[in-house]
């Protein structure tokens, strides 16, 4: 996501003419102050850590004494900041990691080429990167972060880390999968968190199936409400209380039913005019994999769209269980999907757009495309064609905003969108680059073989 603004929110002419110009100017100054303060705090925190280590080593003390000195310094600083010493020590450790282990990333942040959120994601993902490839990872990570907001770069950074790691991703996944577990963390007010550490493809499938079941409950609830209204006064007194559960509450309740009862205890779709009840719903996981990995020529990971990386063994196992394939043609320069070839072409346009967009195309939004609406960039009522170059996925929130506010959008070709804010600032929304898009290690691919 890029803007034509400067360090703040830019756009002098449009901003000056806006009734909000003064407020935006104050906000831009606040952003500058926050940035300067964050940088200064990280530098100061790192210096606290270095000072503690210097003092501990002054008399040649051992590692335990170094840790004690660091705890002491953190406790002192925590009193000044009115924070817990554990949190303050975590800030010190993080600051030293950023400045000492990722100096190029820190400098890019200082120069405002990237944001604080980018730095944190790079450090978290880079924790699994060996020391010998850390610098290469950091330099490439900066380029990734410059192109998008912090919330949308983790997948690409994880794919980058996996590509640079000297150990094959499949082997690392096997080691991690051996540690799968379920834990309970007790909270307050009689509530607890049930946390499951599972392979990504299983976790993504579970969430998708719970969402589908929850949506079926909502649909049945709406149909029931309509029927009750049509029944009139004869059944009004016997009507059951309205089900007002949110989607989060429905997913949680259905999960409990499935685990404890083996199936949803109350299935409001039972007996209705639809294909099967909640128990008939099966999870969907969209996976992108290169042909080389699928054929076993390499062990590069695949990508669960909207999720994370999947090891090659798992994706090949999944591939053996499906009857329908979509083949993506990837532009060798931009590394983005340009065309789709499917066995059943009736829904090819929708499938291509889902593969191309991946998520809502409003700058910064990450709602998965399968949860969004296909929007005509130029309204159909105004002559806009139903064509891939006039369609893009928007979530309900941003679809409504496009319709009912002064935000405007146009497609400039190749799936690239340009959003114009009410103040006249332009934000470019590039086509998402798949996190998994490996090239063939040959000088020139045969002319009759499309690039993947």
Contact 85, 78 (CB under 8 A): yes
Cα atoms found within 13 Å of the Cα of residue 253, Cβ hemisphere only:
16
**In whole angstroms, what separates CA 410 from the centre of its chain?**
24
CB 402 within 8 A of CB 346: no
Q: Per-residue pLDDT for the chain (452 aa), expressed as one digit of tens each?
A: 444 444 444 444 544 567 889 999 999 999 999 999 999 999 999 999 999 888 877 766 555 557 788 888 999 898 999 988 889 999 999 999 999 999 999 999 999 999 999 999 999 999 989 999 999 999 999 999 999 999 999 989 998 998 899 888 888 888 888 999 999 888 877 788 999 999 988 898 899 999 999 988 888 877 766 655 444 444 444 555 667 889 999 999 999 888 877 766 656 655 544 444 666 666 666 777 887 888 888 888 888 765 568 888 888 888 877 766 666 666 666 666 665 544 333 467 788 899 989 999 998 888 889 889 889 999 877 877 777 888 999 999 899 889 888 889 999 988 999 999 888 889 899 998 876 666 566 555 555 555 44
Cβ–Cβ < 8 Å for 414, 356: no
Contacts with 2 (C-beta within 8 Å, 6 or more apart), sequence order = 147, 427, 428
- DSSP, collapsed to helix, strand or coil, labels residue 140 as helix
The CA distance from 243 to 269, in Å, is: 14
Tokens of 128: 């699994």
- Residue that is written with structure tokens 């072409």 in the block: 345
In this structure, what DSSP letter does residue 228 have? Answer: H
Pairing of strands 337-342, 2-3: unpaired
Number of residues that this document lists for the chain: 452
What does the alpha-carbon distance between residue 327 and residue 321 come to, in Å, rounded to a whole number?
17
* Dihedral angle computed from the Cα positions of residues 178, 180, 181 and 186, in that order, rounded to the nearest 10 degrees: 130
- Which residue do the tokens 């006249």 mark? 424
CA-wise closest residue to 308 among 98, 120, 78, 153: 153
CB 371 within 8 A of CB 358: no
Contact between 153 and 144 (Cβ < 8 Å) = yes
Answer for the pair 201, 314: CB distance below 8 angstroms, yes or no. Answer: yes
Read off the pTM. 0.63
For residues 97, 103, 105 and 109, what is the CA-based torsion angle, rounded to 10 degrees? 100
Backbone angles phi, psi at 352, to 5 degrees: -60, -45
Phi/psi of residue 300, each to 5°?
-65, 145
Name the region of 275 (left: φ>0; alpha: ψ -120 to 50; beta: rest): beta
C-alpha 188: how far from its chain's center?
A: 29
3-state helix, strand, coil in the chain (%, to 5): 50, 15, 35
H/E element, 375: strand 373-376
């Amino acid at each position: 996501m890029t803007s034509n603004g400067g360090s703040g929110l830019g756009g002098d002419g449009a901003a000056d003419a806006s009734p909000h110009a003064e407020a935006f100017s104050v906000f831009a100054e606040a952003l500058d102050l926050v940035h300067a303060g964050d940088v200064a705090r990280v530098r100061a925190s790192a210096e606290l850590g270095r000072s503690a280590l210097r003092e501990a080593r002054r008399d040649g003390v051992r590692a335990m004494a170094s840790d004690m000195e660091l705890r002491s310094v953190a406790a002192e600083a925590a009193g000044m900041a009115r924070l817990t010493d554990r949190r303050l020590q975590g800030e010190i450790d993080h600051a030293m990691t950023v400045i000492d282990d990722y100096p190029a990333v820190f400098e890019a942040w200082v120069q405002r080429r990237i944001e604080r959120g980018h730095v944190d994601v790079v450090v978290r993902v880079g924790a699994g990167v060996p020391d010998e490839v850390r610098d290469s990872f950091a330099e490439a990570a900066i380029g990734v972060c410059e192109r998008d907001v912090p919330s949308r770069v983790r997948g690409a950074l994880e794919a980058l880390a996996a590509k640079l790691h000297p150990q094959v991703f499949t082997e690392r996944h096997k080691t991690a999968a051996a540690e799968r577990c379920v834990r309970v963390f007790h909270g307050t007010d009689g509530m607890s968190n049930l946390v499951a550490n599972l392979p990504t493809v299983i976790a993504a499938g579970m969430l998708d199936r719970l969402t589908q079941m929850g949506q079926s409950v909502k649909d049945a609830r709406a149909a029931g409400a309509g029927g009750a209204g049509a029944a009139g006064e004869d059944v009004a007194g016997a009507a059951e209380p309205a089900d007002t559960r949110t989607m989060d509450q429905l997913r949680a309740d259905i999960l409990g039913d499935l685990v404890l009862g083996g199936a949803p205890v109350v299935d409001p779709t039972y007996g209705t005019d639809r294909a099967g009840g909640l128990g008939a719903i099966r999870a969907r996981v969209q996976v992108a994999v290169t042909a080389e990995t699928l054929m076993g020529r390499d062990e590069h990971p695949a990508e669960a769209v909207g999720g994370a990386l999947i090891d090659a063994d798992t994706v090949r196992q999944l591939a053996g269980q499906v009857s329908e394939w979509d083949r993506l043609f990837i532009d060798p320069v931009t590394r983005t999907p340009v065309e789709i070839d499917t066995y059943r072409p009736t829904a090819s346009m929708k499938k291509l757009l889902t593969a191309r967009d991946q998520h809502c195309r409003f700058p910064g939004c990450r709602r998965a495309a399968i949860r969004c609406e296909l929007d005509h960039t130029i309204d159909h009522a105004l002559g806009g064609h139903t064509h891939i170059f006039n369609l893009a996925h928007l979530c309900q929130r941003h679809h409504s905003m496009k319709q009912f506010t002064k935000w405007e959008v146009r497609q400039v070709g190749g799936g690239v969108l340009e959003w114009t804010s009410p103040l006249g600032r332009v934000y470019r929304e590039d086509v998402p680059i798949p996190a998994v898009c490996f090239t063939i290690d040959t000088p020139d691919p045969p002319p009759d073989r499309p690039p993947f």
